[in-house]
Structure 1
Amino acid sequence: MAGKWFDELEIGQTFDHPIRRTITETDNVLFTTMTHNPAQLHLDEEYCKAETEFGTRIVNSCYTLSLMVGVSVGDTTLGTAVANLGWDEVRFPKPLFHGDTVRVETEVVGLRESKSRPDQGIVTFEHRAYNQHGDLVATCKRSGLQKKKPAG
C-alpha cells in the first residue's frame, strides 16, 4: 500500500513526486475530444497560429488538473482514500504545450478528525505542477476523506 494513513500525515509535509510526464499531442487531443470540449485552443492549430497569443495549441486545463492530481495519488492516497471531497482554488498561471514535461509536488495544508467517522480524517493537500523550466503551471487544493491506520 503506497498511500499514507491519515495519522501518518503532518501539516507542512511535502511530497516531491518522482513521476514526471511529457505531454503529447495525443494526450491533449484525446482528452479534449473524450470530454466533448470543442475549444479551438486545444484542437485547431491554424486558428491558434493566426488568432492567439500562443501561436500553437495549448493543453486542456482539465487534463492538466487531472494529471497533477493523478501523479500525486501513489505517494499520498493510494489504498488509503475513502473519497475525494472537492477541489478548491484551482489556478493555471501559465499554459502547457505539447512536449512540455510536468513535475508535481504536494503539501499537506490541512488535517482534521472526522466528527462522524472515528476511523477516518479529512486531509487537504495543495498540489503544484511545474513545467520543465520550473514555471508554475497549475495549483489546487484537494480535500479528501482518508483512512486512519488500523489498530494492531
Structure 2
Amino acid sequence: MTQMYLEDFKAGQTYSSGQIVVTEEEIIHFANQFDPQPFHLDPEAAKTTFFRGLAASGWHTAAMTMKLLVGGEMAPANGIIGAGFESLNWPRPVRPGDTLRVFSEVLEVRPSKSRPTQGMIKVRSRTLNQNEEVVQESVGNLVVMTRQTSTIS
C-alpha cells in the first residue's frame, strides 16, 4: 500500500476498510482483560442488563475499529498517529456475529505552523455493522508527515 503524506490528503476524501466478524469468544476474552462487566462477560446474565444481551465493550469496538483502520485504504506515512478525539460515540452495541467495517472521511487538512515536517488531518470515522447501522463514530486528529520528512537525513 502506498504511504500517504500530508500533501496527499484533501478534505472530502473517503476511505474504507475490510471487514471483521465479531465472535462471542472475542467479546468475553476482551472483557475479561479490560472491561469485566456482566453485560460483556456472561450471555445469560447480560439478558437482564441495560443491553438485554451480550454486548462488546465500547473499548473493544474502538480496538476493532483501529485494526480495521490500520488494514484499510487510508495509509498515512509513519502510521496512524492519533493526537486525540474531538468526539467518540457508541450509538448502538456490537453483538456476537456482527460484521464490522469502517468508512472514514477527511474533514480538514492543516499544515503545522511550527513543524514543517508534519501536519494534522481531522478525520470522521464511522464503524458500521452488517445492517449499515453506526456502532461507533469518532472525529479525531491524526499527525501526518509531509513529503519533506522523507528528504531530511
1:52 to 49, 54, 60: 49
2:62 is paired with a residue of what secondary structure? helix
Q: Which runs of 5+ in 1 are unaligned?
A: none
User: Partner residue of 1:144?
Assistant: 142
Distance 2:5 2:123 in 1: 14
The verdict on how the C-alpha distance between 1:98 and 1:14 changes in structure 2, with shifts beyond 3 A counting, is same
Corresponding residue SS for 2:36: coil
The answer to whether residue 18 in structure 2 is matched with residue 25 in structure 1 is: no
Q: Structure 1 residues 60 and 134 mapped into 2: Cα distance closer, same or farther (>3 Å)?
A: same
2:11 is paired with a residue of what secondary structure?
Answer: coil
1:47-79 Cα offsets, whole Å, 9 max, x none, are 212x13543210111111121133122422454
Write the letter of the residue equivalent to 2:142: G
8 Å CA contact 1:81–1:145 kept in 2: the answer is no
CA distance in structure 2 between the partners assigned to 1:66 and 1:88 by the alignment:
17
Letter in 2 for 1:8: D
Q: 2:129 maps to which residue? A: 131
Query: Residues 82 and 31 from structure 1, CA distance in 2 versus in 1: closer, same or farther, beyond 3 angstroms?
Result: closer
The separation in 1 between residues aligned to 2:98 and 2:80, in whole angstroms, is 32
Tell me the TM-score normalized by structure 2. Answer: 0.87
Identity, % of aligned positions: 27
1:2-43 CA-partner distances (Å, limit 9, x unpaired) = 4421110000100122x10000122212222222x2211100
2:87 — aligned with what? 89
Normalising by structure 1, what TM-score?
0.87
Residues 82 and 43 (structure 1), Cα distance of their counterparts in 2 relative to 1, 3 Å cut:
closer
SS in 2 for 1:20: strand
CA contact (8 A) 1:69 1:127 kept: no
CA deviations over 1:124-144 (Å, ceiling 9, x no partner): 111101110111111001212
Classify the secondary structure of the residue corresponding to 1:132.
coil
Assess if the C-alpha contact under 8 Å between 2:16 and 2:102 holds in 1.
yes
Q: Which runs of 5 or more residues in structure 2 are unaligned?
A: none
Corresponding residue SS for 1:76: coil
Aligned to 2:96: 98
| Count of matched residue positions in the alignment of Structure 1 and Structure 2 | 149
- Over the aligned positions, Cα root-mean-square deviation in angstroms equals 2.0
Of 51, 60, 75, 1:63 maps to 60
2:70 corresponds to = 73
Instruction: Give the counterpart of 1:107 among 98, 105, 122.
Output: 105
